[in-house]
Structure 1
Amino acid sequence: MSVSTVGNGRVELSGRSALLAVGDLLAIGTFVAVGEFTHGINPFLNPGRFAGTLTPFLLGWVLVAAIGGLYTSDGIGTLRAAVSRTAVAWVLAVGIAQALRATELFPGNAALTFALVSILVGGTLLVCWRSVAATLLHRYVDRKEGLLR
């Protein structure tokens, strides 16, 4: 079965990649929302602030994940690939997010401690999500050829 791709085949346009993207958004959004609550900011009452905090992480993630092929079948081809590629991509995405936060365009600033917390907490959420996705997609979807391709 043929799958449409963009970016030199680094992103597959499929139900599988859409599912991964939604899960990634939820994982990163959860990380940012919990962080906002921890700092006394209610993201539901301050959606502009929440969006401003979320955007650098999403931009970093989308850039690195797309270049790294995380939205392809190979990106979660095995559990090991899902975990290792996600972890590396998130570390790079946090670096980009921190660089963006160092500008006046986004709330917050670049801080080593926040980068480490971001890597650990956000990375844990993403790695867990991607591990579950890889396992379930292989177990239930790939056996039913083409269901989410």
Structure 2
Amino acid sequence: MSTSTYLRTRVDPSASTAGLLVGDVLALGAFVFIGQQFGHSMQPLANPLAYLEALFPFVLAWVAVAVLGGLYTDDALASFRRGLGWALPAWLVALPVAHGLRILVSGSTAVAFVVISAVVGGAFLLGWRALAVFVSKPPAT
């Protein structure tokens, strides 16, 4: 199977999956922004390069794992059980990848930050994914 054929089974080219990607990036972006602003007294808007440097490993790791895991398919929005049941293990895989990338980019990561990003970053991402499933379901009549 070619790479393009494999990716076609892992990514549905639709507005809903494009929305998932945008929402994922915004959720991770909010996590990093709030962490810098309130946890480190940094000003992400005043130093956008530092913000992007902190955000990059999380987005790259998440998108790579999400694509491989089929989280950009319409099936990922089929139910809360599927949406969150797929996103949680994907986050747990993406997290050490992100921190590995973080070490490569900035030279370090703290154990406390690994725990905080697992819990808080995961809450942002899984909360967004739960909202996406909820919004994608037509109301029962």
2:35 match? 35
1:147 match? none
* CA deviations over 1:13-57 (Å, ceiling 9, x no partner): 110111111111110000000111120211100000000000000
The one-letter amino acid of 2:29's match is G
Q: TM-score, normalising length from structure 1?
A: 0.84
* CA deviations over 1:80-139 (Å, ceiling 9, x no partner): 111121111112111111101112xx2362332211110100110111111111111022
Whether 2:88 is the aligned partner of 1:109: answer no
Unaligned ranges ≥5, structure 1: 144-149
1:6 to partner: Cα distance: 6.4
- How many residue pairs match? The answer is 135
Instruction: Name the structure with the higher strand share.
Output: 1
Whether 2:30 is the aligned partner of 1:24: answer no
1:99 match? 100
Instruction: Name the structure with the higher helix share.
Output: 2
Aligned pairs for 1:1-149 (under 5 A) are 7-37=7-37, 38-103=39-104, 106-107=105-106, 109-139=108-138
Q: RMSD value over aligned CA atoms?
A: 1.7
Q: TM-score, normalising length from structure 2?
A: 0.89
Unaligned ranges ≥5, structure 2: none
* Partner SS, residue 12 of structure 2: strand
Matches of 1:108 and 1:15, distance apart in 2: 37
The one-letter amino acid of 1:138's match is K
Identical columns (%): 38
The one-letter amino acid of 1:32's match is V
The one-letter amino acid of 1:48's match is L
Matches of 2:62 and 2:53, distance apart in 1: 15
The one-letter amino acid of 1:42's match is Q
